[in-house]
Amino acid sequence: MLGSYADTVRDAVLRAKRPAGHLIAAGLAALIVERHGDRLRSWAPDLVVPVPMHWTRRWLRGGSAADELARGVASGLGLPFRRAVRRSRRTVMQNSLPRGDRRGNVAGAFRAGRVTGRRVLVVDDVTTTGSTLAACSAALLFAGAAAVYAAVAARADMTDST
């Protein structure tokens, strides 16, 4: 995590979500690796996986900040990037829901491909309650992952605007 979802970090994450935001996402990924690379390497992941968007939202947005972040983290760590998780159904955007409703919104919303015995690093742009990361982790573990770890650019807390 680079910091709280506020000020400069929030601005960078929001820019990374826009069309042509891949350079900002690449910069955020480079900072994640620079600041936390030793810890990420100590987990000995085998591959880096982004938190997926539903294909319709990805198409409307023109890309995925999580994909670009994961691609940059994978490159910085010298690991393979793989879209091993897919969103199997549309969900309401998490930031539009009260915190208490977010876990149920993403429960069962992800499916993972074969990752048997692999140690997986899941990457997303922002986490608030951890519900999306937990749902992705559950899908990966169900698909046979040996371990699942997470890295994010920012963490929103109760005082941050989400």
pLDDT in tens, 111-136: 999 999 999 999 998 888 888 999 99
Residue with tokens 């048997």: 116
- The tally of domains found in the chain comes to 1
Q: Is residue 162 part of a domain?
A: no
If phi over 0 gives left and psi between -120 and 50 gives alpha, with beta otherwise, what is residue 89? beta
Q: Is residue 60 part of a domain?
A: yes
What integer pLDDT is reported at residue 43 of this predicted model?
Answer: 97
Q: Is residue 160 part of a domain?
A: no
What integer pLDDT is reported at residue 137 of this predicted model?
Answer: 95
86 pairs with which residues across the strands?
111
Q: Kindly give the parts of the chain with pLDDT less than 70.
A: 1-6, 14, 54, 56, 58, 60-62, 92-97, 104-105, 158-162
Q: What is the CATH number of the domain that holds 129?
A: 3.40.50.2020
In angstroms, the CA 139 to CA 115 distance is: 10
What integer pLDDT is reported at residue 124 of this predicted model?
Answer: 92
What integer pLDDT is reported at residue 6 of this predicted model?
Answer: 61
